A and B are shown apart, each in its own frame.
Chain A
Amino acid sequence: MARQETILRVEHLSMKFGGLVAVDDLSFEAKKGDITAIIGPNGAGKTTVFNCITGFYKPTEGRIALVHGDDSILTRIDNVTATGKQWVRTRQGALFLLERLQDFKVSELARVARTFQNIRLFGGMTLLENLLIAQHNKLMRASGYTFGGLLGLGGYGKAERAAIDKARYWLDKTGLLDRADDAAASLPYGAQRRLEIARAMCSDPVLLCLDEPAAGLNAREGEELNELLLSIRKEHDVSILLIEHDMGVVMQISDRIVVLDYGRKIADGSPAAVRSDPKVIAAYLGVEEEETDEVAKELSA
């Protein structure tokens, strides 16, 4: 297997809320085309990591680098950090220091999309509208920053039709096409989760961050979700960062797992390696390390 390129590099990330250390000196990498899972008990700091990556929180310390294209650009990372720039672009690719970008710039420039643990849809708007809003910046440019669109100039109509086609594609892929004109809030829970993923994909991401997408889904829906995620990765050249409690989903589809506990990384590796890591089992079950062997046996039985 060829060397995999890095898409996201997190270094010494720390996030404190007053006295509480939610994320503590966390470093890890996500490879291009991989599904990288972040797991950990409740309150381990997983969502906080996402919020730091997507610019919603400014980390107390640390560096988060995202790469477009060739990851050889990472050699310049210290250089860029020192100059105080937010990003650089070369012929081979681009490098973004996400902790320096505002939340909406993370999406617009670095093309990182996300979903939320407690679903955040535009409930009073239709599914189609939800997916068009995800293409806001593109459509804004096409409408000549509103002026052209208002006067009926420029190719806004064409751009909007293309955006609708894209929305249709994702509605179809998530099995929501026949509800395109319904209010998002009227969807059942599982469908809302899928719509949120479709909406994130409509913003053309290179990295898709999913916060517990399988939460509250039944077994069949979970299965469908797995397929959706695998096909997104395969067909759309998108890397995925996944927070998940459902071990079935995690073990089945992820290429690499990072385990957090009390904000600290306690394991990092392939699903097989993580599964048998005593520290992970201890963290999950809250048992002493000596007992973990038995638990591991039970688990694998």
Chain B
Amino acid sequence: MEYFLQQLINGVALGSIYGLIAIGYTMVYGIIGMINFAHGDIFMVSTMISLVLLIALFSLGVTAVPIVLLVILLGAVFLTALYGWTVERMAYRPLRGSFRLAPLISAIGMSIVLQNYIQNAQGADKKAFTQLIPGGIEFFKEADFSVWLQYSQIALFTTTIVVLAVFTFIVTKTPLGRAQRACEQDIKMASLLGIDVDKTISLTFVMGASLAAVAGLMHLLYYGSTDFYAGFVVGIKAFTAAVLGGIGSLPGAVLGGITIGLIEVFFAGYVSVDYKDVAAFSILSIVLIFLPTGILGRPEVEKV
């Protein structure tokens, strides 16, 4: 029972990270109908940025945790957003309205570029870091086992909820959100109606990358490690989460992420650690094949 509870907490924590990344996938897929294959790597870049900023602050003698966190958060969000913007601008925008495979191939190329860029710039070694927010609340103490809710997990949960609320507000209530939803329905029509489609799409990438940056920082705080390859599998799992939650839905993405996180943690805990990624990829296949419209979506009859 304690073990179960602990896994539950860990699963939701992992799932929150997936969910934050999944929002980036879901918004981009919703608007331009492409899988931003490089999004997982944008997340990875953000973990590296956070790491560099962290070490820089420490070596400058800034060690007050709240200040450190705030500076890293702002810095990482800004830089990662700029990465997202640049990637869209260089690799995707020139291909808009072209052959449909082209953006996907370009995105795969971009993913390779980002991974190897980081590998060359920061080395191939795994960067491990001691936890910045140690400790936690211990409850359900038993003789041999106790359940921990770490402070970093609490930070992760609150951040996820706050970020989700803010972004849901942006998408539903602001002019930018309206423009995004208009593009989602019909890009051509939106541009005829005077919506700056390019700007809207750029901002969507910027928003997605910002969320990836938040996820990246959380990941670094919570797991305390990263490397140049950390984005690939995480990205694919987050994409699964986006589909599972229903493409285009922000709360759906977080819900999907938590579902994937829970499945992964419980599979690793109760069935097999070795095969946990096999389980994740199997779920991905099953979701895409049998639930292509997500948990909440209805099956569609193909229009002829």
Contact = CB atoms under 8 A, between A and B. Distances in A.
* Chain A in direct contact with chain B (Cβ < 8 angstroms): yes
Interface of A: 17-18, 47, 51, 56-57, 116
Interface centre among B298, B301, B302, B304 (most CB of A within 10 A): B304
Interface string B264-304: 00000000000000000000000000000000001001101
Contact of B304 (A17, A18, A57): A57
Contacts of B301: 17, 57
Contacts of A116: 304
Contacts of A56: 302, 304
Interface of B: 298, 301-302, 304
A56 B302 CA distance: 9
A257 B302 CA distance: 28
A211 to B, nearest CB: 10
Contacts of A18: 298
Contacts, number: 9
A51 B298 contact: no
A53 to B, nearest CB: 12
Contacts of B302: 56
Nearest to A50: B304
The 5 closest A-B pairs by CB, nearest first: A56-B304, A51-B304, A17-B301, A57-B301, A18-B298
B142 to A, nearest CB: 51
Contacts of B298: 18
B238 to A, nearest CB: 31
Q: Name B's interface SS.
A: loop
Nearest to B302: A56
A18 B299 CA distance: 10
6 contacts: A17-B301, A18-B298, A51-B304, A56-B304, A57-B301, A57-B304
A265 to B, nearest CB: 22
A17 B298 CA distance: 11
Nearest to A116: B304
B302 to A, nearest CB: 8
A17 B304 CA distance: 14
A83 B298 CA distance: 33
B293 to A, nearest CB: 13
Nearest to B298: A18
A17 B303 CA distance: 11
A17 B302 CA distance: 11
A116 B304 CA distance: 8
Nearest to B301: A17
A215 B108 CA distance: 43
A253 to B, nearest CB: 25
A116 B298 CA distance: 26
Contacts of B304: 47, 51, 56-57, 116
Given A18-B298, A57-B301, 7 more contacts: A17-B301, A47-B304, A51-B304, A56-B302, A56-B304, A57-B304, A116-B304
A8 B301 CA distance: 25
B301 to A, nearest CB: 6
A51 B302 CA distance: 11
A9 B232 CA distance: 56
Nearest to B300: A17
B229 to A, nearest CB: 39
A130 to B, nearest CB: 19
Contacts of A17: 301
A13 to B, nearest CB: 16
A56 B298 CA distance: 19
A121 to B, nearest CB: 15
A21 B298 CA distance: 17
B297 to A, nearest CB: 12
Nearest to A18: B298
B241 to A, nearest CB: 27
A51 B298 CA distance: 21
Contacts of A47: 304
A96 B298 CA distance: 32
A184 B68 CA distance: 64
A113 B298 CA distance: 31
A293 B298 CA distance: 46
Nearest to A58: B301
B12 to A, nearest CB: 34
Contacts of A51: 304
A56 B301 CA distance: 10
B201 to A, nearest CB: 28
Nearest to A120: B304
A56 B304 CA distance: 7
A141 to B, nearest CB: 27
Nearest to B304: A56
B243 to A, nearest CB: 22
B240 to A, nearest CB: 27
Nearest to A51: B304
A18 to B, nearest CB: 7
Contacts of A57: 301, 304
Nearest to A54: B304
Nearest to A57: B301
A57 B300 CA distance: 12
